[in-house]
Amino acid sequence: KAGVTQTPRYLIKTRGQQVTLSCSPISGHRSVSWYQQTPGQGLQFLFEYFSETQRNKGNFPGRFSGRQFSNSRSEMNVSTLELGDSALYLCASSFPDSYGYTFGSGTRLTVV
């Protein structure tokens, strides 16, 4: 079966712009989580959606937001981009919770 698909793979944006990243989970998976990975901070949890509802949220500013659609696909939006937002953004899906997470290949965001 198809894995977790993230688009686009690479993005270059300018400070102050906004960006939307997309994640399509494995078919049948209802939970989608987002993580930010940077060399300094490692992997940090952004938020998790389950059946279109935000189930959990990490400690990121309100510029970071997300949503999940009825087909379980999820989008993450970052507004007013800062240089520090440059990172690899990873999406993971799971269902049920006991089956663990499957990650996508990530979106590499560079803010210049």
Partner 1 sequence: KQEVTQIPAALSVPEGENLVLNCSFTDSAIYNLQWFRQDPGKGLTSLLLIQSSQREQTSGRLNASLDKSSGRSTLYIAASQPGDSATYLCAVRGYTGANSKLTFGKGITLSVRP
Give the interface with partner 1 as residue ranges (CB under 8 A): 4, 6, 33, 35, 42-43, 45, 48, 55-56, 58, 88, 90, 92, 97-106, 108
- Tokens in use for 92? 């993971």
In angstroms, give the least distance from the CB of 39 to partner 1: 10
**Shortest approach of partner 1 to residue 69 CB, angstroms?**
21
C-alpha dihedral (58, 61, 63, 66), degrees to nearest 10: 10
CB of 80 to partner 1, least distance (A): 25
Q: Are strands 107-111 and 10-13 parallel, antiparallel or unpaired?
A: parallel
Distance CA 5, CA 108 (A): 14
Residue from 50, 47, 35 nearest 94 by CA = 50
In terms of CB distance, is 3 or 16 closer to partner 1? 3
| Closer residue to partner 1 in complex, CB, 20/43 | 43
